[in-house]
Structure 1
């Protein structure tokens, strides 16, 4: 005989026999969940059983119901499941996500998702600040927690996220250190012969270290004067579509870059001492050694900071923001302005000088008329 499926959202209340918990007998309130299964809970009073069952039924009918099993899901269980789906992203992004999740689970790992409150998040952010973490790092951790919780809502594990603008920490944007031209050439001189191209590609083409490591001879058109990055280490797609944009370079730079492949017969422009391709972590180790010899460079100065020199070099040369955006391969001019807007001071001074000049010319004109 076929068992009839009960209608989700229906309720019932019935008397239960006396038990250790309810010596006088209790009342069992029940409801039928979205899967057609009966769920129940016992109360001392009938009215409490009815109210509870009807409350769960209302959630089902309104689409706001979360099963007891899902509601008990902890941050640790959810984040481990979430990371499996996140592994389709770039290795560097996955590594960073795992680092963030580890810190999040240190505080919220054993807490059910439904029990994470805004106040607890605010206290966590305050503790991170007290720990001495940079504002940018704290904001990155906050955004990761927000991502985890919003995806939990999408998956039906949470009714709403406790994240809001009211508790968001500052982004912590910092002005990047811009090396001087003398410091850039000092770095160039300090790098091993087979890795001098690292400085040229970072400071005069704005490439990232993973792009520098993977840049091949076939990616540079020496005759037309273009670098067109195609992949990044270890042979994976570039960070963004904009990263594929060609970068114009002078022939003199192309000539310097080609010295290393000509010497070793290598496919890449940056190599080890034996002419084999160099991984980013090896390049960074050589760079740190060279950096220590250059006076005035901060200890945390990175290969990526050579991009800042490239941008400032273009701005100082009078390039407009759209051309700088294109050379830096940013997705939008806003990104370029957010990072390098403070370097536009010379442009502001030029505007100020132009207005002052116009006023001076007007004054001269008036004096001439009076004469």
Structure 2
């Protein structure tokens, strides 16, 4: 049980048991009242106050926090954002290497803004200001959203580790997600990309556009992962030989015989254990595919057309937006399946999304005739009503 102690006076008893207050050696020096409470395990903690009422209010709150498991020790209360992020990253190192690299990039921007501050000093208002300044500095809205999510993750783990009583991040501090509808390449653009890619990297375009593999998954696909007889692709690892991004990525994907023939022809030509090679028998890297994509976006047929500056009709892949990535070939596959009549669960399985909600959030606008189908459904009910009203007088006249 906590209590408040007077540091200026002490109570002494004489031989007859009479108690009187006498000044201590600290009388008149410093703060007079000492709040005393106990942590888990019985360790005594104290804090001095100038006024008794403040000490009387303080120690009960500390003991309440102890009983609720929300107590923060004085030492932990001094832990800075930078110190905690260093500890947090050590524990986060068990994730995939690419995931850890991304986390380190995010944490570097977080510590640049809040690094010297104790964790419990970071306020929601400061987080909102930080997000606004990131946006004004030119960061994309989606990236600002990702940084806020990372800060919230770091702070939430600090709460779990009893370094913070509450996460200062919330939906009220979060910026808009800034998601945009994905650009879906046309079939003509996909084949133009295929033709413009180096021969040894062309299988990657096929795997991205018609199987839905990500860059690292395409580079990690081995000949043993493809059943050429039955036409089934079953990814097992991603580049260079790491675990796949999710368990869903291991789902077998059926492919048509036409695609099987093209992939088997590439295997025969390069004689490698990898579907996508470096031009010999070695494994291609994701960077080689990214470089090829950037090169294709910038290359033009010659001579350049006169209207090149306005509307480039001389690009190897006309109409392809700046920043188009290999990963965006997955959007083409999704649009291809949707236009063929596939439902959301089929598209989810082929794109390896963890949930149908993700599929709908990303591609919901691509499902055709959404407006027409709802209009037709309502129209059918109204038409039936009108038809019933027009037939009623006829029946009455016959009777």
Same fold (TM over 0.5): yes
Report deviation, 1:126.
1.2
Q: Deviations over 1:174-232 (max 9, x none)?
A: 10111111111111111111110111111111110010000000111111111111111
Q: Which residue is equivalent to 1:320?
A: 343
CA distance in 1, matches of 2:368, 2:170: 36
Q: Which residue is equivalent to 2:259?
A: 253
CA distance in 2, matches of 1:107, 1:130: 15
Q: What SS class does the counterpart of residue 39 from structure 1 fall into?
A: strand
Report deviation, 1:24.
7.5
CA distance in 2, matches of 1:174, 1:270: 31
- 1:328-343 pair list within 5 angstroms: 328-343=351-366
Report deviation, 1:353.
7.0
- The answer to whether the 8 A contact 1:9-1:61 is kept is no
1:17 pairs, out of 14, 17, 25, with: 25
Q: Which residue is equivalent to 1:4?
A: none
- The answer to whether the 8 A contact 1:225-1:250 is kept is yes
1:151 pairs, out of 157, 162, 179, with: 157
- 1:109-128 pair list within 5 angstroms: 109-128=115-134
Q: Which residue is equivalent to 1:72?
A: 78
Report deviation, 1:164.
2.2
Q: Could you list the runs of 5+ residues in structure 2 that have no partner in the other structure?
A: 9-23, 300-316, 395-399
Report deviation, 1:34.
2.8
CA distance in 2, matches of 1:350, 1:48: 68
Q: What SS class does the counterpart of residue 105 from structure 2 fall into?
A: helix
- The answer to whether the 8 A contact 1:13-1:30 is kept is no
Q: What SS class does the counterpart of residue 7 from structure 2 fall into?
A: strand
CA gap of 1:331–1:29, structure 2 versus 1, over 3 A, is closer
CA gap of 1:337–1:52, structure 2 versus 1, over 3 A, is closer
CA distance in 2, matches of 1:17, 1:52: 25
Q: Which residue is equivalent to 2:104?
A: 98
Q: Which residue is equivalent to 2:397?
A: none
- The answer to whether the 8 A contact 2:31-2:48 is kept is no
Q: Deviations over 1:143-174 (max 9, x none)?
A: 11111111111110011112222222211111
Q: What SS class does the counterpart of residue 309 from structure 1 fall into?
A: helix
Q: What SS class does the counterpart of residue 31 from structure 1 fall into?
A: strand
Report deviation, 1:326.
1.6
Q: Deviations over 1:262-302 (max 9, x none)?
A: 12220011111222111111221122212323221112000
Q: Deviations over 1:118-160 (max 9, x none)?
A: 1111111111121222221111111111111111111100111
Q: Which residue is equivalent to 1:277?
A: 283
CA distance in 1, matches of 2:372, 2:40: 67
CA distance in 2, matches of 1:242, 1:144: 24
Using the size of structure 2 for normalisation, the TM-score is 0.81
Report deviation, 1:56.
3.3
Deviates more, 1:204-213 or 1:289-298: 289-298
CA distance in 1, matches of 2:288, 2:279: 11
Q: Deviations over 1:233-289 (max 9, x none)?
A: 121111111111111111111111122221222001111122211111122112221
CA distance in 1, matches of 2:265, 2:291: 22
Larger radius of gyration: 2
Report deviation, 1:57.
3.7
CA distance in 2, matches of 1:125, 1:291: 32
CA gap of 1:356–1:257, structure 2 versus 1, over 3 A, is farther
Using the size of structure 1 for normalisation, the TM-score is 0.87
CA distance in 1, matches of 2:336, 2:223: 25
Aligned: 1:225 with 2:231: yes
CA distance in 1, matches of 2:254, 2:379: 36
Give the alignment's Cα RMSD to 1 decimal. Answer: 2.8
Deviates more, 1:63-72 or 1:350-359: 350-359
Q: What SS class does the counterpart of residue 237 from structure 2 fall into?
A: coil
Report deviation, 1:10.
6.0
Aligned: 1:89 with 2:82: no
Deviates more, 1:38-47 or 1:156-165: 38-47
Moved over 6 A (4+): 353-359
Q: What SS class does the counterpart of residue 304 from structure 1 fall into?
A: helix
1:179 pairs, out of 185, 202, 207, with: 185
- The answer to whether the 8 A contact 1:214-1:268 is kept is yes
Report deviation, 1:45.
4.8
Q: Which residue is equivalent to 2:269?
A: 263
- The answer to whether the 8 A contact 2:270-2:279 is kept is no
CA distance in 2, matches of 1:105, 1:24: 37
